[in-house]
Amino acid sequence: MRNQDNITPYITFNRDEWASLRSSTPMTITEKDIEELKGLNDVLNIDEIEQIYLPLSRLLFLHTMAVKELHESRNMFLRTQVKKVPYIIGVAGSVAVGKSTMSRVLKTLISRWPNKPRVELLTTDGFLYPNKFLQENGLMDKKGFPESYDITSLINVLSQLKSGNEKVTAPIYSHITYDVIPDQVQTIESPDVVIVEGINVLQPPKLLEGKTIDQISVSDFFDFSIYVDAAESNIFKWYVDRFKILKETAFRHEKSYFKKFAGINDEEAFELAKDIWDKINKVNLQENILPTRNRADLILYKGNHHLVDSVKMRKI
């Protein structure tokens, strides 16, 4: 009888095995770059770049080159000169797991490939409904849940990108005011690669009473997707650690939504962060984010040191 435990769509690599796949990929990031790229309490060093990100950069380069060849072959077959559309990479995972840092590192590495592609980073925070809308619809306590996003607008932006539109605009979010910034947009012009980062970007089409509401999902526009994973206990710890740092930094900004928490001590900060985690982020992780993990092409699993321990890559 066949062993059911061996049935998996993924190939698993430990850190050393994955690091060996770097081959001759050159190091294009400096110590100064690392300081500018890492998040508040993320652990990022040269070893992590060499052993995790350079092999990933090499893999993505091979994928994009294969897509380019396919595009040229299709044009030859169809006898057309259709312009190539951007290669879109989706990055998903929990709050505080390190998605933003990883996305910034990837953007930097990809932009320094030999062919110097134009790379843009699009975060889904800008597609959160404004706080006024969330308050009016009883959704402030579900901010970050799938229903708190204007998915229609996000899909419209991705549709424009995949249609080859040369200039596309997207809303911008402020982590200081904890809200979408009115009358400001991010302009994306003629990108070769777009990284779309957000906690719920791998959500499948919405269902209501067993019927599909949305006929298309955000991930339908992705050429490659990555899920940043870690044990829930570690993510909670990182979330609390980040909260404590924020109360001493961003929360002290005069326009900060969380300014009233700037003066609390570490014990009060822990209790407040734990309450927010238990009521919002933990529920969102368990009900919405984690169930999308196995929809990713690549899963990066972090250990308690905030560094990647293992990698799972989907078979093709």
- pLDDT tens digits, 27-42: 999 999 999 998 878 8
Q: Does residue 179 contact residue 257 with C-beta atoms inside 8 Å?
A: yes
Q: Which of 298, 287, 306 is nearest to 236 (CA)?
A: 306
Q: Does residue 109 contact residue 28 with C-beta atoms inside 8 Å?
A: yes
Alpha-carbon distances, residue 66 vs 59, 60, 138 (angstroms): 11, 10, 46
How wide is the angle at C-alpha 307 spanned by C-alphas 305 and 311, nearest 5°?
130
Q: Which of 185, 164, 159 is nearest to 173 (CA)?
A: 185
Write down all domains in the chain, each with its CATH number in brackets.
4-314 (3.40.50.300)
What confidence tens digit (pLDDT) does each residue in 263-279 have?
899 999 999 999 999 99
2 band by pLDDT with thresholds 50, 70 and 90: very low
* Predicted pLDDT at 6: 73
Alpha-carbon distances, residue 38 vs 92, 99, 315 (angstroms): 17, 10, 30
Whether the per-residue pLDDT at 82 is higher than 90: the answer is yes
Mean pLDDT of 35-62: 94
Q: Which of 46, 51, 53, 50 is nearest to 30 (CA)?
A: 46
Per-residue DSSP letter, 86 = P
Whether the per-residue pLDDT at 5 is higher than 70: the answer is no
Whether the per-residue pLDDT at 212 is higher than 70: the answer is no
What confidence tens digit (pLDDT) does each residue in 181-202 have?
999 999 999 999 999 999 999 9
* Predicted pLDDT at 40: 78
Please state whether the predicted TM-score (pTM) of the whole model is above 0.75.
yes
SS3 content of the chain, % helix, strand, coil (to 5): 45, 20, 30
Whether the per-residue pLDDT at 211 is higher than 60: the answer is no
* Predicted pLDDT at 1: 36
Residues in the chain: 316
The encoded tokens of residue 172 equal 């911008």
Helix and strand counts by DSSP (H, E) for the chain:
10, 11
Q: Which residues are CB-contacts of 151 (< 8 A; sequence separation ≥ 6)?
A: 127, 206, 214, 218
